[in-house]
Amino acid sequence: MTATVPAKTTRKFYPTSIDLDVGIREEVVEVLSKSLAATLDLKTQAKQAHWNVKGMDFLQLHELFDEIAGELEAYVDMVAERITALGGRAMGTARIAAAESILPEYPYDIISGEDHVRALAERFALYAKHVREAIDQTDAAGDADTADLYTEISRTIDMRLWFLEAHLVK
């Protein structure tokens, strides 16, 4: 059986008393939906690294990757709940995340800590760029609350990118 990802154009909006025009909410939910997919994808990629890292820095990286995945899980929930608060439907299955994510697939053949750190740093950089663009998009659309949510996410993502890249300095 082949799974199909629901078309974006068929998203139903539920009634809400939030004082944002439905056009604004539709635009913002579109941005949030891209973020939901990317955040879910990045979280599972961090878990892939957590489960498979080997080498001298195993324990340190194993714990770091798990902590990062936990932070991302909290952001998955924040983004999904913002979608539903705006009257949208959060589409957050693994299949949808894989189909909609902006991130490249995680390399399955790596085991060294340095390779995992490099792979995650590359993906965190792409995700950080996406989040900064989402701040601008949602602010321009007229939803300061969602822009603020993205600002909160951005600070932690930048910090985690710094942590990852610090491991790569020789």
Residues 99-124 have pLDDT tens digits of: 999 999 999 999 999 999 999 999 99
**Residue 133 belongs to a domain:** yes
Average model confidence (pLDDT) for the chain?
93
Domain that holds residue 113: 21-166
For residue 47, pLDDT over 60 is answered with yes
Residue 55: left (phi > 0), alpha (psi -120 to 50), or beta?
Answer: left
Q: What is the pLDDT of residues 57-76, one digit of tens each?
A: 999 999 999 999 999 999 99
**Residue 1 belongs to a domain:** no
**Residue 44 belongs to a domain:** yes
What tokens were used for 24?
A: 């604004």
What is the per-residue pLDDT for 4? 56
CA distance 56 to 138: 43
Percent of the chain with pLDDT over 90: 90
Q: What is the pLDDT of residues 7-31, one digit of tens each?
A: 544 567 888 899 999 999 999 999 9
Lowest mean pLDDT among 1-15, 31-45, 46-60: 1-15
CA distance 41 to 98: 7
Percent of the chain with pLDDT over 70: 94
Say which residues have a Cβ less than 8 Å from residue 56's Cβ, sequence separation at least 6.
113
For residue 79, pLDDT over 50 is answered with yes
CB under 8 A, 24+ apart: contacts of 98-104: 98/41, 99/5, 99/37, 100/5, 100/33, 100/34, 100/37, 100/38, 101/37, 101/38, 101/40, 101/41, 102/34, 102/37, 102/38, 102/126, 102/127, 102/130, 103/38, 103/41, 103/42, 103/45, 103/127
**Residue 6 belongs to a domain:** no
**Residue 15 belongs to a domain:** no
**Residue 89 belongs to a domain:** yes
CA distance 160 to 65: 10
What is the per-residue pLDDT for 29? 97
Q: What is the CATH number of the domain that holds 124?
A: 1.20.1260.10
Say which residues have a Cβ less than 8 Å from residue 88's Cβ, sequence separation at least 6.
11, 13, 14, 25, 26, 29, 32, 33
pTM comes to: 0.92
Closest CA to 16 of 91, 92, 89, 93: 89
Dihedral sign of CA atoms 110, 116, 119, 123 in order: positive
**Residue 12 belongs to a domain:** no
What is the per-residue pLDDT for 9? 43
| DSSP secondary structure letter of residue 108 | T
